[in-house]
Chains A and B, each alone.
Chain A
Amino acid sequence: MDESDVTPVRVGRHVTIRPVHAGDYSVLYEIAMFSDAGSRWRLQASTPSQDEFLRLIFENSRATFAIEKNDDHRVIGMVQLWMYDGLSRNGHITTFLVPWARGRGWPLESIILFVDYVFKGFNLHKLYFESLSPEFEQYGSIVGRILRPEGCLKDHKWVFGRLVDYHILALYAEDVPKLTRLLRSRPIERSDHHEATRHINPVVLHIADS
């Protein structure tokens, strides 16, 4: 077995994930408390002390990782396996990112690195992603193709003035390779070129022209 298969330090092209250490505590607290990151995560409107925040982070978590940007080694967020159930082999993923890193694309690599780690490390059957209605729309076509919808609790969460739906999505072990192959993409062979072009249709995807 290669060392990289068991080490909790996972290096991608854009980001590295690694276990949280004491030096990260204040950075993660800052990100969670002094932006909307904490409220989008599990804090909602709460403003715990740093000690309470740390207890909240580590309680019921089997793996809590800092997300570090490779070029300047800044910690930009956290990702964790939460509520792990060893008997049923499932758990929840929770994460937060510093606001400027959201919607940039590349931080998704940290989720893929983490997914690879926890499915191998904990022999997961499935991993739950939870999302509130406003964010759920952003999952787009990944829902149903990689993340399977497992449930929706209507008007379940109070979020700053209104009740919103709470969606439960699951990533199954058999769908993990669709994600983890992104970590090792390589050029396709010539023989694949012909096969790939065979299916090109003139217009299939409906994109708004406006």
Chain B
Amino acid sequence: MSNEVPRTRHLAIRFLEDCGVAYGDRTFLAPIGALVASIGEPMFTMLLLHIEGMLPEPFPEGLIDQVESLDELLLFADVKLSRDPM
């Protein structure tokens, strides 16, 4: 099994860096609500759109309400990507 960090995490990291948003491990593990409160809803939405852009289809509606953290969301994206690559 590969030890590589999933590529959607890199995508998220690069996006946050490009936007000048400080991040750390807690960024990925924090409850979604705390993350949104921290970076603001527009920035969080842009991050989602950025990640979603590499998926074959948009995130299912309501997904955000079902995941606990950004890490979980990225896991979903990685599974989706591995099953159905663009």
Binding site for B on A (CB under 8 A): 13-14, 103, 105-106, 108-109, 112, 138-143, 145-146, 178-179, 181-188, 192-193, 196-197, 199-209
Contact = CB atoms under 8 A, between A and B. Distances in A.
Given A141-B38, A187-B11, 18 more contacts: A103-B41, A106-B45, A108-B46, A109-B49, A140-B43, A142-B42, A186-B54, A187-B81, A187-B86, A188-B10, A192-B14, A196-B14, A203-B26, A205-B27, A206-B38, A207-B30, A207-B35, A208-B38
Contact of B38 (A187, A192, A199, A205): A205
Contacts of A204: 22-24, 27
Contacts of B20: 145
Residue from B18, B25, B42 having most chain A Cβ neighbours under 10 A: B42
Interface string B24-39: 1111001000110111
Contacts of A186: 53-54, 86
A105 B48 contact: yes
Interface of B: 4-5, 7, 10-11, 13-14, 17-27, 30, 34-35, 37-46, 48-54, 58, 64, 81, 86
Contact of A139 (B4, B11, B42): B42
B58 A13 contact: yes
Given A185-B50, A196-B13, A207-B34, A138 B7 contact: no
6 contacts: A106-B45, A141-B19, A146-B19, A183-B53, A192-B10, A201-B24
A206 B37 CA distance: 11
Contacts of B19: 141, 145-146, 178
B23 A205 contact: yes
Contacts of A106: 45, 49, 58
B4 to A, nearest CB: 7
Contact of B41 (A112, A138, A196): A138
Residue from A106, A141, A209 having most chain B Cβ neighbours under 10 A: A141
